[in-house]
């Protein structure tokens, strides 16, 4: 049953997400040509600053979901209603705090943008609308965690995906007709209200037993779990968001625009799509980790690890070869090859760490990993601040990469294997380094042998059509090669694919009958 729900989450999430990803690339190209890279830098910067203010949430949403997994397994509807009512109450209090923090931070908004393309007044206006938009989810809270805890994420795509598609299309139309950043942000705010309203209505339909309780019956116990979660939220935000902030302050708004409209847009879109493949099983894993034996958990973790390494190898090599020309096609600007290489390594790690990261989160091991998260954030900030002075935008990413290597990379597997499985993680590291080495060798063979001999003599990859043809050939050959390698070399990979094929065969037989 868990695997079936995982498969439904895959189908319900991935196919629509592919359409949204393609449309988002069109939006990026239109944004760069109509509003400019400077506007893209300001847009990304305010998203980053908004993220830091939202640290006031302190991981409450994650605490609610991890609590609900066990309550759903116990079928305790009364307690779920109490937890969700308590979460709504706490979210509204957080919203008030964020409002005042946003007003205070907004005073300094214009000076955070080096070579600001907008006036001070216009910059303040954009920030004010950003702030209002970010508050909607706190004061108009949706009981979405219930759906996730029940392993039914795919059901929400009936609402979420059409809205995302319509939103991107409307934004493209608005920009082509002269809309500026203010109009786009207001449109996004309106869409957020509509999406939450529809979600609340649909969730009530899915779970008729759900209802908000009275104030004296609500359960506020989840707030006790947020102390350690806050540190992890801060560390993750430093990892994903300070790059934009430092580029904007120490380089220029245009550099931040190239990074966010070009590299981050492309890499985040691909990474997010891969993570949706992997995270589609999260709710099922949450149920599994709440109820299964240690041996079963380890088996599933190994299967998930094999899938992450397979996807990392299949996708990262084509990205290494194809990202630079694609970004130039999108926004007509790129950074150097060293910058691209560091981005590739960071992306590979983000994909291949999903199995361990998911297990850490679902076991709620936030206290055990808190110190590693603190050290990671400090190292990231200090090194990025130093290296940006000497290496510019590339220095920021190198600082991020080093911070991950010295903390997250080795400590998270160590603590997971030690405390959950009573094992040393040497098998994990052996697998990681061997598969990473194979991926690096394969990338070098492509770059120095296969590309010069079979691709570049007839395809320059400088137009969208030629790029698409080259991308199809490279991705197909690389995918088949690693499929064969993992099929014959990975038991976990074969087990997962076998279950997937059996379930598909079962569904096909049902249709026939």
Domain boundary among 170, 193, 221: 221
The phi-psi region of residue 460 (left if phi > 0; otherwise alpha if psi is between -120 and 50; otherwise beta) is alpha
pLDDT of residue 441: 92
Note whether 213 and 248 are same-domain residues.
Answer: no
Number of folded domains that form the chain: 2
Query: Confidence class of residue 282 from pLDDT cuts 50, 70 and 90?
Result: very low
Note whether 201 and 244 are same-domain residues.
Answer: no
What single string gives the DSSP state of each residue in 388-407?
Answer: HHHHTHHHHHHHHHHHIIII
Note whether 215 and 287 are same-domain residues.
Answer: no
**What residues have CB less than 8 Å from 72, skipping those under 6 apart?**
80, 149, 150, 287
Domain that holds residue 118: 1-221
Domain boundary among 221, 242, 272: 221
- Report the interhelical angle of 181-206 vs 37-53 (nearest 10°): 50
CB 388 within 8 A of CB 311: no
Kindly state the average pLDDT of the residues 381-396: 92
Mean pLDDT across the chain, nearest whole number?
A: 83
Note whether 495 and 473 are same-domain residues.
Answer: yes
Q: How far apart are CA 494 and CA 60, in angstroms?
A: 38
In a domain, 260, yes or no: yes
Q: Which residue has the higher pLDDT, 315 or 161?
A: 315
Note whether 68 and 98 are same-domain residues.
Answer: yes
pLDDT reading at 288 higher than 60? no
Q: How many CB atoms lie within 10 A of CB 110?
A: 17
Give the pLDDT confidence of 358-367 residue by residue, as tens digits.
888 777 787 8
In a domain, 228, yes or no: no
Query: Which of 11-20, 173-182, 334-343, 459-468 has the weakest average pLDDT?
Result: 11-20
Query: Confidence class of residue 172 from pLDDT cuts 50, 70 and 90?
Result: very high
Kindly state the average pLDDT of the residues 251-260: 86
Note whether 464 and 441 are same-domain residues.
Answer: yes
Give the pLDDT confidence of 431-461 residue by residue, as tens digits.
889 889 999 999 999 989 888 887 887 778 8
Note whether 217 and 341 are same-domain residues.
Answer: no
In a domain, 227, yes or no: no
Measured CA angle at 259 (ends 39, 386), to 5 deg: 115
């Amino acid at each position: 049953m868990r695997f079936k729900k995982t498969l439904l989450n895959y189908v319900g999430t991935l196919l629509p997400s592919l359409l949204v990803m393609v449309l988002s690339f069109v939006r990026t190209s239109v944004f760069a040509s109509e509003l400019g890279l400077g506007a893209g830098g300001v847009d990304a910067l305010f998203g980053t600053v908004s993220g830091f203010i939202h640290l006031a949430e302190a991981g409450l949403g994650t605490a609610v979901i991890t609590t609900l997994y066990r309550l759903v397994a116990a079928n305790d509807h009364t307690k779920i209603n109490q937890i969700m009512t308590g979460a709504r109450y706490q979210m509204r209090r957080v919203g008030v705090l964020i409002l005042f923090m946003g007003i205070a931070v907004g005073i300094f908004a214009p000076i955070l943008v080096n070579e600001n393309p907008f006036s001070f007044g216009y910059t303040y206006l954009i920030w004010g609308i950003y702030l209002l938009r970010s508050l909607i989810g706190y004061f108009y809270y949706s009981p979405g965690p219930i759906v996730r805890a029940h392993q039914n994420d795919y059901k929400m795509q009936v609402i979420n995906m059409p809205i995302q598609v319509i939103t991107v299309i409307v934004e493209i139309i608005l920009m082509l007709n002269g809309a500026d950043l203010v109009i786009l942000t207001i449109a996004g705010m309106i869409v957020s209200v509509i999406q939450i309203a529809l979600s609340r209505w649909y969730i009530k339909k899915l779970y008729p037993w759900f209802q908000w309780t009275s104030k004296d019956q609500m359960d506020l116990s989840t707030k006790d779990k947020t102390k350690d979660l806050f540190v992890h939220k801060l560390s993750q935000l430093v990892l994903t968001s300070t790059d934009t902030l430092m580029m904007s302050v120490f380089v220029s708004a245009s550099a931040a625009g190239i990074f966010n409209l070009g590299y981050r847009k492309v890499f985040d879109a691909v990474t997010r799509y891969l993570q949706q493949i992997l995270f589609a099983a999260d709710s099922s894993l949450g149920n599994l980790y709440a109820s299964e034996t240690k041996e079963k958990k380890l088996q599933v973790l190994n299967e998930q690890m094999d899938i992450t390494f397979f996807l990392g190898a299949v996708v990262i090599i084509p990205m290494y070869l194809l990202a630079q020309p694609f970004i130039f096609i999108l926004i007509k600007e790129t950074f150097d090859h060293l910058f691209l290489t560091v981005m590739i390594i960071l992306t590979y790690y983000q994909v291949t760490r999903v199995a361990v990261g998911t297990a850490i989160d679902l076991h709620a091991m936030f206290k055990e990993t808190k110190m590693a998260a603190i050290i990671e954030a400090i190292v990231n900030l200090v090194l990025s601040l130093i290296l940006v002075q000497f290496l510019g935008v590339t220095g920021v990413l190198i600082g991020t990469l080093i911070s991950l290597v010295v903390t997250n990379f080795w400590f998270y597997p160590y603590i997971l294997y030690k405390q959950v499985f009573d094992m040393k993680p040497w098998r994990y590291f052996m697998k990681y380094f061997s598969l990473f080495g194979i991926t690096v060798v394969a990338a070098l063979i492509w770059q120095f042998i296969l590309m010069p001999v079979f691709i570049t003599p007839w395809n320059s990859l400088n137009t969208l059509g030629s790029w698409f043809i080259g991308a199809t050939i490279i991705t197909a050959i690389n995918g088949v090669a690693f499929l064969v390698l993992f099929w014959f070399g990975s038991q976990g990979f074969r087990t997962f694919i076998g279950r997937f094929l059996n379930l598909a065969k079962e569904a096909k037989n049902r249709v026939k009958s």
